[in-house]
């Protein structure tokens, strides 16, 4: 990342993490997320180019601090790519997803046992059940769990959280609705600075 894009990304991460901390405080026991809970770490999901750059920065630092752990991530990335490449709905060279990637079998929600739904994120440590690049994780990973508005205006939560909460209690824990627009603006700034476009996935972001 350049200094300008790093500053932009740092600002976005700070805003998102502060919003998450606020929602978590209001949620109390209803937010059941904890180390070792990995349901949201399985499946293929799109990430922005800014997320991809943040992940690459994270593994670059990890290669300096803990080469063995970084090597394990690289191995999991290679295994993941070997499994999903035949179905990848995008450019296999650049890793950029097609505009209609959601229609691909890799992203289908109907088949729970499909590769797309069962494949663990390559950054997930299968032994500890924690993220090896937690401080550099994508924005979608930072915001998953607390109540968040969908494009249709509904409040969506992790299915393991807020199980006993009332509708009013869930609404009171909503993640700052301004986050989505702030993330979009930050991603647009990053893309313009680096002349990149589109979305990718974690495995491609960390491909050698």
Checking if the pLDDT of 106 tops 90, the result is: no
> For 124, which DSSP code?
E
Block residue for tokens 């998450």: 20
pLDDT at 110 over 60: no
Q: Rounded to an integer, what distance in angstroms lies between the CA atom of residue 208 and that of residue 78?
A: 9
Q: What is the pTM of this model?
A: 0.92
Dist. CA 19–CA 11, nearest whole Å: 12
> Would you put residue 97 in left (φ > 0), alpha (ψ -120 to 50) or beta?
beta
Q: State yes or no: pLDDT of 206 exceeds 90.
A: yes
Phi/psi of residue 182, nearest 5 degrees:
-65, -40
Looking at the structure of the chain, the number of domains it has is 1
| Band of residue 116 on the pLDDT scale cut at 50, 70, 90 | low
Q: 200: which strand partners? A: 47
Q: Are 116 and 84 in contact (CB under 8 A)?
A: yes
Range in 4-18, 21-35, 40-54, 55-69 the model is least confident about: 4-18
Question: Which domain covers residue 115, as residue numbers?
Answer: 3-205
The mean pLDDT of the chain is 92
Tens-place pLDDT, residues 133-183: 999 999 999 999 999 998 888 899 999 999 999 999 999 999 999 999 999
The per-residue pLDDT for 117 is: 67
pLDDT tens sequence across 47-96: 999 999 999 999 999 999 999 999 999 999 999 999 999 999 999 999 99
CA dist., res. 110 & res. 151, Å (int):
21
């Amino acid at each position: 990342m350049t200094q300008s894009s790093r500053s932009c990304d740092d600002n976005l991460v700070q805003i998102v993490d502060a919003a998450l901390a606020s929602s978590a405080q209001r949620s109390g026991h209803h937010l059941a997320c904890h180390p070792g809970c990995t349901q949201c770490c399985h499946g293929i999901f799109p990430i922005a180019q800014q997320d991809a750059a943040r992940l690459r920065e994270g593994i670059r630092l990890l290669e300096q601090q803990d080469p063995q752990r970084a090597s394990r991530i690289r191995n999991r990335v290679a295994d993941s790519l070997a499994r999903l490449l035949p179905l990848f709905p995008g450019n296999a060279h650049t890793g950029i997803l097609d505009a209609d990637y959601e229609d691909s079998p890799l992203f289908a929600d109907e088949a729970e046992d499909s590769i797309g739904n069962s494949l663990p994120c390559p950054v997930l440590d299968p032994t500890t059940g924690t993220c090896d690049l937690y401080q550099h994780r994508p924005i979608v990973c930072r915001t998953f769990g607390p109540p968040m508005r969908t494009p249709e205006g509904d409040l969506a939560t992790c299915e393991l959280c807020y199980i006993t909460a009332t509708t009013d209690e869930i609404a009171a824990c909503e993640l700052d609705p301004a986050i989505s627009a702030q993330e979009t603006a930050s991603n647009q700034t990053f893309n313009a600075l680096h002349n990149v476009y589109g979305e990718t996935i974690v495995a491609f972001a960390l491909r050698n």
